[in-house]
Amino acid sequence: MASDVDTAPLVGRADQLTALRSALLDDLGPGQTAAVFLSGESGVGKTRLLHEVGARLRDAGAVVLTGSCLDIGDASPLHPVLQALRRFDGELTSTQARTSSAVRGLLRMFAEETAAPDGAGALLERVSRGLGLIAEGRPLVLVLDDLQWVDRSTRQLLLYLLAGLGDLQLSVLAAVRAESLQGAHPLRRVLTELRRLRSVRVLDLAPLDRADTDRLAAAIAGASLTPEAAEQVWQRSGGNPFVVEELARDLRDGRDGLSDTLREIFLARVDALPQHAHAVVHAVAVGVEPVEHWLLAEVLGLPEQELIEAVRAAVAHRLLVGVDEGYRLRHRLVAEVLAHELLPAERSALHRRYAEALTRAPAELHQARLAHHWRLAGEPGLALPAAMAAAREAERLHGFAEAHRHWSAALDLAAAPAAGPAAPAPVRVDRAVLLEHAAETAHQCGEHARALHLLEELAGGVDAGPSCALRIRRARYLAAAGRSAPAEAEYTGVLESADCTPRERASAAARLAELLLHLGRYAEAGRRAREALDLAAAVDGSTTEVVLASSALGFSEAFLEDPDAGLAVVRRALEIAERAGRPEDVACAYLHLAELLTGPLNILEEGVVVARRGAERVAELGLGRTYETRLLAIATNGLFRVGQWAEAEKVVAAALRHRPSGADAVELLLARCRLSVGYGDVEASDRDLEAVATVLAGGGARHVLPMLILRAGLAMWQGRHDVARQAVQRGLTESRSDDVMLLATLAWHGLRAEAEAHASRTVPVDETAVRRLRDVVDKVARKSAHAARPVRLGAEGFLVLCAAELSRLDGRGDPELWARSAAEWDRRHHPYPAAYSRLRQAEALLARRSRSTTAAKLLRRAYEMAQGLGAVPLTSEIRTLAGRARVALEERPPSAAGRLARRAEPAGGELSVLTAREREVLAAVAEGLTNKEIGQRLFISERTIGVHVSHIFDKLQVRTRVQASAIHLRNRAD
């Protein structure tokens, strides 16, 4: 089952290629022999590997003879050797007459000697001498394919040659199908004996892993596969390269279904099985893998010994594999092939036997499989209660995606007529209950559009119109889908309705406060939160409302009034949520705490730690696709701001594996886009911004400003100052946010765009836009003056940037303002704006033709910082200015791990696993400082230092500060 070597690249076999060359050539001396027998299932790539190894050995100077065995037994003695000699002779040129003469002499000798019945020993000796003449002192490699069909004469020749008689340096490389070596196959005994020789290796060639499967499929298809297609190829192929290639070609050519080639190959393998093994494979193909041994015995009704022998035969033929829990198909493709071979009645009967066997087992362990088999047996009445039980069990374990699948199946089963001959009376289930559960689990697993659709169906069945509870639920789903405006309208409607209960109004007020918080309307969020707490005080058991309202209130207070008091309220909300244990409450509390720390309070390192710890916690609670992705987006943004871009990229890549939707996806796309804009990856940035704009077309005001800020930043690096201006002006028009940090960022981007336009002289400065931006800067200054101190300090950095950009608009930038800006951002440990400010300070000094030495130092420092980040556009602009000013810059080698210029990891050593901040903390620990003293030195809270120390212990695998200090001192000495 060879692949098409002309079009299919060799993937995932680099280690084997190196090992084979070493075993067959590099490690051998004159007169020594070696052999490697490649074993593996059909299609795993044995023939292709033989071809590649033979070519490399030939390039290295070896004489390579290649032949294949025939499936006709001993009827054609020495066929592969004869074929190899003829092929080799045909490849020789006229200048190799001596070698050609030796080859033809050996072929004539074969023709003469094979007719003599008693000349075997002499034949083998003469063959050895003839091969020596052909090799002419060079290494000789005999490559044989399909060795499972080898004839007796060739087996004898191989054994004689490998005995190492004479001075011929000989290697044998042969491939054999593992599934063919069954029972008393003669080659099986030969290989068993040869394994005992140190010069002989039997290498079992495994299928490709997931990454190499994706690479091979993409190479065949001509482009990367969609995640769905890649997953399907992986599941169907099991990593078998031949199957991967066939499936990828079908995808490339737009063919549906299974190719005839694959179908016939697998059918032939199944048909070759003994009768009982044939039944075993069919039964496992119909079952839910892995199929336990006891269950297979119940379904087939075979005596124990006969069942074991049948399973052993199926495993030996490489159709089944044994796992701890039972058996599964080596390739799921076999199930697809066999699905068309069973009659409908046969398939239904197998499913019925599975269901009956599972019914006799402990029911709570098998409800999902029980529902599956009863449904396919044509018994929806029996499948429905099992599906509902499986859904409830999945909900209990926080498996919301699985629960949603089961509730959806229950909806279908409730509508299906009973079809079995002895169908029970249909189970009476209120469809509204099923819709309610299906909608809620869809929301919890991130399928927000699906949740809204189910909710609409549920509301359509209510004659008196949607209840307050339904309206609250709809608002939750709308907010999660990124449609904040209709969500706000629904919550407000509930609060204004006289028909709603105090509990419902408390819920609406708390959730509205949370929504307003995300929209940046902190004052309104605080008022709604207080309203919710007042309403909840009169209602028993309103934990969710208390958690949501407390989180929103604490955030509002921390931003507008007292940071410490507000932070304490949010921490207390998390404690309440953890005690109550409701997953969504815990997730919301973690989200607000992480946002508060990384946002207004600017305690970035602790905020990143909280976000990542919260992500792990909510993943345990089954909210990986929703809240975990949001928390990881917060962690990504925090890491971006402190300059740990490579780590941020790893975090966002891990989060994207959840394939989030709605607002969750937008948060993550924006986080990734910040990295792409910083790196200067225009294509990736545009792609993410387009995706965000598409999602936000249905609403989502909370994400509009961040999207427009990124659009402006990208446009400026592209020199499209008019596009940047339009994005900023749109943001000023649509903004209703109280978030002075967001407004200040937007104003800086606007003034920077006008300053860039002024400097480039390609686009006229828009004086109206500048006046409007000055007004925004004044507004931010007024608002931040009354905000909490951390917010005021955070806004101050952007206000200085704005003032410095305005000085550029006057024609010559103010170096003092840029120096102040660099100092502000250094103090906050934000390297990107600090490097940008140094660039502009140097530019302003050079424009005044003064202090060129200072300008050179500033450019070198800015260049070092930008290179360390991997900020390609900023690095390029610094390099351009340095070139004009004739300032020499020190180039740093880019990290091999980065997709662009990327911060290199620390060079080796035990401390390379630590981040820069963790190494600072470890140095202070080695000095004998307490956590409190370290916090005072590094301007970090004692709590955060404790987290850093814990991470250091984990990474260095130590238990005490003394052990950690010893490692630090040892590496410092090195």
Sheet strands side by side (includes 33-40): 63-68, 140-145, 170-177, 33-40, 200-204
Amino acid present at 521:
R
Mean pLDDT value of segment 164-180: 76
Question: What is the reported pLDDT for 895?
Answer: 41
In this predicted model, which residue has the larger pLDDT, 632 or 911? 632
Question: What is the reported pLDDT for 83?
Answer: 86
- For 535-546, what is each residue's pLDDT tens digit? 888 877 678 889
Do the beta carbons of residue 937 and residue 718 sit within 8 Å?
Answer: no
In this predicted model, which residue has the larger pLDDT, 627 or 661? 627
Do the beta carbons of residue 844 and residue 812 sit within 8 Å?
Answer: yes
Question: What is the reported pLDDT for 307?
Answer: 93
The values of phi and psi at residue 360, to 5°, are -80, -10
Cα 726 to Cα 685: distance, rounded to the nearest angstrom: 18
- With H, G, I as helix, E, B as strand and everything else as coil, classify residue 341: coil
Do the beta carbons of residue 588 and residue 444 sit within 8 Å?
Answer: no
Unique residue bearing structure tokens 């809620």: 440
Question: What is the reported pLDDT for 308?
Answer: 92
Cα 635 to Cα 642: distance, rounded to the nearest angstrom: 11
Do the beta carbons of residue 622 and residue 581 sit within 8 Å?
Answer: no
- For 587-621, what is each residue's pLDDT tens digit? 999 999 999 999 888 888 889 999 999 999 998 88
- For 760-791, what is each residue's pLDDT tens digit? 877 788 899 999 999 989 988 988 887 778 88
Residue 131, classified by CB atoms within 10 Å of its CB into exposed (0-12), middle (13-18) or buried (19+), is buried
Across 360-511, the runs of DSSP E, i.e. the strands, are none
Cα 195 to Cα 180: distance, rounded to the nearest angstrom: 18
Question: What is the reported pLDDT for 772?
Answer: 92
CB atoms within 10 A of CB 6: 5
Q: Which of 674, 663, 577, 673 is nearest to 626 (CA)?
A: 663
Do the beta carbons of residue 868 and residue 643 sit within 8 Å?
Answer: yes
DSSP state of 291: B
- For 471-497, what is each residue's pLDDT tens digit? 999 999 998 888 888 999 999 999 998
In this predicted model, which residue has the larger pLDDT, 593 or 154? 593
Q: Inform me whether the pLDDT recorded for 896 exceeds 60.
A: no
Choose the weakest-confidence range: 73-77, 450-454, 808-812, 944-948.
Answer: 73-77
Q: Inform me whether the pLDDT recorded for 115 exceeds 70.
A: no
How far from the centroid of its chain's Cα atoms is residue 611's Cα?
A: 19
Residue 965, classified by CB atoms within 10 Å of its CB into exposed (0-12), middle (13-18) or buried (19+), is middle
Q: Inform me whether the pLDDT recorded for 889 exceeds 60.
A: yes
Q: Which of 765, 683, 692, 764 is nearest to 718 (CA)?
A: 683
Residue 341, classified by CB atoms within 10 Å of its CB into exposed (0-12), middle (13-18) or buried (19+), is middle
pLDDT class for 435, splitting at 50, 70, 90? very high
Cα 886 to Cα 803: distance, rounded to the nearest angstrom: 29
- For 786-803, what is each residue's pLDDT tens digit? 777 888 888 888 999 999
Mean pLDDT (the chain) is 83
Do the beta carbons of residue 240 and residue 205 sit within 8 Å?
Answer: no
Mean pLDDT value of segment 119-142: 79
Tokens describing residue 973:
């000495």
Which of 21-30, 348-357, 394-403 has maximum average pLDDT? 348-357
Q: Which residues of 371-405 are buried (b: 16+ CB within 10 A; e: fewer)?
A: bbbbbbbbbbbbbbbbbbbbbebbbeebbbbbbbb
Q: Which residues of 247-278 are buried (b: 16+ CB within 10 A; e: fewer)?
A: bbbbbeeeeeebeeebbebbeebbeebeebbb
The values of phi and psi at residue 645, to 5°, are -70, -40
Q: Which of 657, 655, 658 is nearest to 670 (CA)?
A: 655
Q: Inform me whether the pLDDT recorded for 240 exceeds 70.
A: yes
Report the percent of the chain where pLDDT is more than 70: 88
Four-residue CA torsion sign, 823, 825, 829, 833? negative
- With H, G, I as helix, E, B as strand and everything else as coil, classify residue 179: helix
CA count, 13 A, side-chain hemisphere, 575? 6
Mean pLDDT value of segment 451-462: 84
Which of 96-110, 435-449, 932-946, 958-972 has maximum average pLDDT? 435-449
Cα 90 to Cα 93: distance, rounded to the nearest angstrom: 8
pLDDT class for 940, splitting at 50, 70, 90? low
Which of 95-99, 706-710, 894-898 has maximum average pLDDT? 706-710
DSSP, residue by residue, 544-604: HHHHHHHHHHHHHHHHHT-HHHHHHHHHHHHHHHHHH--HHHHHHHHHHHHHHHHTTT--H
Measure Cα distances from 789 to 557, 565, 883 in Å.
12, 13, 42
Unique residue bearing structure tokens 């980040």: 869
Cα 143 to Cα 66: distance, rounded to the nearest angstrom: 5
Paired with 849 in beta bridges are none
Which of 232-241, 610-619, 884-893 has maximum average pLDDT? 610-619
Q: Inform me whether the pLDDT recorded for 180 exceeds 80.
A: no
SS percent in the chain: helix, strand, coil, step 5 = 70, 5, 25
Query: Quick one: residue 680, left, alpha or beta (phi over 0 = left, psi -120 to 50 = alpha)?
Result: left
- For 252-292, what is each residue's pLDDT tens digit? 877 766 777 777 877 887 888 889 999 999 999 898 888 88
Do the beta carbons of residue 475 and residue 507 sit within 8 Å?
Answer: no
Q: Inform me whether the pLDDT recorded for 152 exceeds 90.
A: no
Q: Output the CA angle 243-249-253, nearest 5 degrees.
A: 150
pTM here is 0.63
pLDDT class for 851, splitting at 50, 70, 90? low
Q: Inform me whether the pLDDT recorded for 673 exceeds 70.
A: yes
Unique residue bearing structure tokens 């594999």: 321
Do the beta carbons of residue 628 and residue 445 sit within 8 Å?
Answer: no
In this predicted model, which residue has the larger pLDDT, 285 or 155? 285
DSSP state of 320: E
Unique residue bearing structure tokens 């999660």: 480
Cα 79 to Cα 143: distance, rounded to the nearest angstrom: 13
Question: What is the reported pLDDT for 701?
Answer: 62
Q: Inform me whether the pLDDT recorded for 900 exceeds 90.
A: no
pLDDT class for 26, splitting at 50, 70, 90? confident
Dmax of the chain from CA atoms? 109
Query: Quick one: residue 193, left, alpha or beta (phi over 0 = left, psi -120 to 50 = alpha)?
Result: alpha
Cα 458 to Cα 435: distance, rounded to the nearest angstrom: 6
